[in-house]
Amino acid sequence: MNFEQIKNDEQKYMMNAYGRFNTALVKGKGATAWDCEGKEYIDFTSGIGVNSLGYCDDGWTKAVSDQAASLQHISNLYYSPLQTEVAKKLCELSGMDKVFLCNSGAEANECAIKIARKYSFDKYGEGRQKIVTLVNSFHGRTVTTLAATGQDVFHNFFFPFTEGFDYAKANDTDDLKSKLTDDVCAVFIELIQGEGGVMPLDKEYVAEIQSLCREKDILLMIDEVQTGVSRTGSFYCYQGYGLEPDVVTSAKGLAGGLPMGACLSGKKTSGVIVPGTHGTTFGGNPVACAAAVEVLSRVAQPGFLKEVNEKGEYIRAELLKMPNVSEVRGQGLMIGIVTEKDNAKQVAARCVENGLLILTAKNLLRLLPPLTISYDEINKGLTILKNTMEETL
């Protein structure tokens, strides 16, 4: 297949939604991908934190193809043993109480927002509907999750946005306190802001949020769409922070490459959703569930989590030895790199030419490699990154 032909057809037939790198990927195994012309790439992206077990992992491929050959979809009018298996595993791994299955991060966040507002409506009546998120956050692309996103650049064109969001400055307790007015029903945060530039929240600040929320019966809701499913070295990032949230959202890495989102409720919010208040046609799809069962049975094993942390430490130490690296942030295999020359976009584009898939977030380079990446692949990728840093100095 010819790349120029694919690119021309994309421009002719697809809406111009994305700035894409100049490659068309057609095949992968582990953390290695190949493009339509046979060129090989090391993958430090796993999609955007989606392929948690890498490309075409043997166990994952078997689970998915067996399920596709047995039952591809049923409506949510019927019970599904695969849905209940995913939900049970998620509850056991997270300590949360109940699960709603959907198809994406934005959908999981929509569910969380609906739960927050209905929880408060059921208990206090109208008027306590505001949700406080953080400046520089990212929560999705629907009209409501754009409103939840605390970045002005996203609040354009699509007016009117959903009302009832306010934004507090991250790691600033006084600013948060001033935003927790009587009309607030929930605080909704990422513990490490992903799209916002791999920015972790301070532990003391987050503990303070939790106690302020408890005092006022404000729900603490955590967006783990990017940080979750062992990405940051614990199954969910909040477990590393020692929190007990009321609602948690999950998606990206959950089914290892098939679309799946989940909204998890704590005891306090488990009764909020009742028949008629929420639903989805595709959510909890059996093939996606079979994929998630495989992911969940592997990534939360203590040995697996230990390796995620060790690989993260190793990569961070190697990055700090490279030219053009002024700071390395993040946790586990969610890593942000601040460059001295402030040229992340240029470095990322050149990395692709040199055979390395790598992400950016704001003006940082960002790594979200498959959790199963081998040290051989890590070293190959780091060598390409180092050479590219030197080329672009």
Helical segments of 234-355, H only: 237-241, 286-299, 302-320, 344-353
Q: Which C-beta is closer to ligand PLP: that of 80 or that of 226?
A: 226
- Bridge partners for 346 per DSSP: none
283 near ligand PLP, rule: CB under 6 A: no
By CB under 6 A, name the one of 35, 43, 110, 223 that touches ligand PLP.
223
194 near ligand PLP, rule: CB under 6 A: yes
By CB under 6 A, name the one of 101, 131, 221, 225 that touches ligand PLP.
225
330 near ligand PLP, rule: CB under 6 A: no
Q: Which span sits near ligand PLP by CB under 6 A: 53-61, 137-145, 304-312, 360-368? A: 137-145
106 near ligand PLP, rule: CB under 6 A: yes
Report d(CA 1, CA 6) in Å as an integer: 8
Report d(CA 236, CA 248) in Å as an integer: 9
- Helices vs strands, H then E, count in the chain: 13, 17
By CB under 6 A, name the one of 32, 83, 226, 324 that touches ligand PLP.
226
Q: Which span sits near ligand PLP by CB under 6 A: 1-9, 187-195, 307-315, 359-367? A: 187-195
Report d(CA 220, CA 117) in Å as an integer: 13
138 near ligand PLP, rule: CB under 6 A: yes
Q: Which span sits near ligand PLP by CB under 6 A: 4-12, 222-230, 278-286, 338-346? A: 222-230
The distance from CA 307 to its chain's CA centroid, rounded to whole angstroms, is 20
> Which residue number has the CB closest to ligand PLP?
105
Report d(CA 377, CA 17) in Å as an integer: 31
Phi, psi angles (nearest 5°) of residue 314? -60, -50
Kindly list the distances between the CA atom of residue 350 and the CA atoms of 33, 318, 357, 380, in Å, as whole numbers in the listed order.
17, 20, 10, 16
By CB under 6 A, name the one of 28, 54, 105, 283 that touches ligand PLP.
105
CB atoms within 10 A of CB 276: 6
Minimum distance from CB of 108 to ligand PLP (Å)?
8
By CB under 6 A, name the one of 139, 231, 298, 350 that touches ligand PLP.
139
Q: How many residues bind ligand PLP (CB under 6 A)?
A: 15
Query: β-strand 247-250 against 261-265: which pairing, if any?
Result: antiparallel
Q: Which C-beta is closer to ligand PLP: that of 121 or that of 282?
A: 282
Kindly list the distances between the CA atom of residue 178 and the CA atoms of 110, 132, 154, 168, 298, in Å, as whole numbers in the listed order.
25, 11, 24, 9, 43
- Compute the radius of gyration of the chain from its Cα atoms: 21
Do the beta carbons of residue 55 and residue 33 sit within 8 Å? yes
Q: Which span sits near ligand PLP by CB under 6 A: 132-140, 154-162, 212-220, 282-290? A: 132-140
Site string for ligand PLP, 238-267 (x = CB under 6 A): -------------xx---------------
Q: Which span sits near ligand PLP by CB under 6 A: 23-31, 63-71, 136-144, 348-356? A: 136-144
- Bridge partners for 328 per DSSP: 337
Q: Which C-beta is closer to ligand PLP: that of 130 or that of 139?
A: 139
The residue among 239, 235, 283, 241 whose CA lies nearest residue 259 is 283
Residues in the chain: 393
Minimum distance from CB of 115 to ligand PLP (Å)?
16
Residues that bind ligand PLP (CB under 6 A): 104-106, 109, 138-140, 190, 194-195, 223, 225-226, 251-252
